[in-house]
Amino acid sequence: MDVKDKVIVVTGGGNGMGREVVLGLLARGARVAAVDLSEAGLAETAELAKAPEGRLTTHALDVTDRKAVLAFPAAVIKIHGQVDGLVNVAGIIQKFVKIAELSFEEIERVMNVNFWGVVNMTKAFLPHLLERPAASVVNVSSMGGFLPVPGQATYGASKAAVKLFTEALYAESQGTNLAVTVVFPGGVGTNITANSGVDIPNLGDVEQGKARKVVSPADAGRQIIEGLEKGSYRVLIGSDAKAMDKLSRLMPRRATELIAKQMKSLLG
């Protein structure tokens, strides 16, 4: 889809990859409705964008608030006149603990944001997108959505749910105007840890000496936009995601054990 003059809704637009998607879409001539829980983050995005009047609107919205989300498309259409695409980037990680130590409250919090947030936004906008000549839904899963990461069981489960939800939407959308893309980032240099209110002990031990290669948020945002433009089925971001995607399909047990070994120090 050519994004020029299209109206794209982007969640997580107040920081990280979501912010870079907003900025990248604006640079390509799109109009953007940026969504985030943080008004301050959205204000920073708007300041960085310096977009001409009417090209960018910012919306403080909790994607887990279904009533508010279901009312949101009408607000976007009232302002922009249409909606052509939805990019669900917003997400959080869990506390870095084993399942036995993970509270039900933490499990529900992560699932509500990462999975139900995507479901709420997709369900809200889908009827409007299907009315457009060409439209797109892009949902960000994670490398953790196809490869189990110790200490991130619920995060991985939420992202696996996003993966299958998006792939099912793709299958159901054959023969329609709707392109559906699922994105699997590996290591990306974002603030997801701080934004999730999570402290990861011993993280430096994992990163030190291994020169853990991470993709910049700007590069990740660019790849997400390119996936939207091409109508890609899947987008794998980073050499780690690409390598582990292959290994997890060819040797799933070996891939699981490899990740477990690498992450062992984070769990004590």
Question: Over pLDDT 70: what percentage of the chain?
Answer: 91
Other C-beta atoms lying within 10 Å of the C-beta of residue 245: 18
Report the distance separating Cα 259 and Cα 153, nearest Å: 13
- For tokens 């050499």, the residue is 239
Asked whether residue 2 is assigned to any structural domain, the reply reads: no
pLDDT band at 120 (very low <50, low <70, confident <90, very high): very high
Per-residue pLDDT tens over the stretch 208-217 = 434 457 899 9
Whole-number pLDDT of residue 207: 42
Rounded to whole angstroms, the Cα distance separating 239 from 241 reads: 6
- 1 within domain boundaries: no
What are the tens digits of pLDDT across the range 105-115?
999 999 999 99
Positive/negative CA dihedral, 34, 36, 40, 44? negative
Separation CA 179–CA 84 (nearest Å): 11
Please determine, for residue 199, whether its predicted confidence score (pLDDT) is greater than 90: no
62 alpha carbon, distance to own chain's centre: 15
pLDDT digits (tens, 9 = 90+) for 134-169: 999 999 999 999 999 999 999 999 999 999 999 999
Number of structural domains found in the chain: 1
**pLDDT reading at 259 higher than 50:** yes
Average pLDDT, whole number, for the chain? 92
Asked if residue 97 is part of any domain, the answer here is yes
> What are the catalytic residues?
155
pLDDT at residue 198 tops 70: no
User: Structural domain of residue 37, as residue ranges?
Assistant: 7-267
| Three-state SS sequence of 163-205 | HHHHHHHHHHCCCCCEEEEEEEECCECCCHHHHCCCCCCCHHH
Q: Enumerate the H helices of 33-116 as residue ranges.
A: 39-49, 66-80, 104-111
The pLDDT value recorded for residue 265 is: 74
CATH code where residue 135 lies:
3.40.50.720
Nearest in space to 137 (alpha carbons), one of 40, 1, 264: 1
Work out the burial of residue 20: count CB atoms within 10 Å of its CB; fewer than 13 is exposed, 13-18 middle, 19 or more buried.
Answer: buried
The 10s digit of each residue's pLDDT in 23-71 is 999 999 999 999 999 999 999 999 999 999 999 999 999 999 999 999 9
Residue with tokens 């329609």: 176
213/268: higher pLDDT:
213
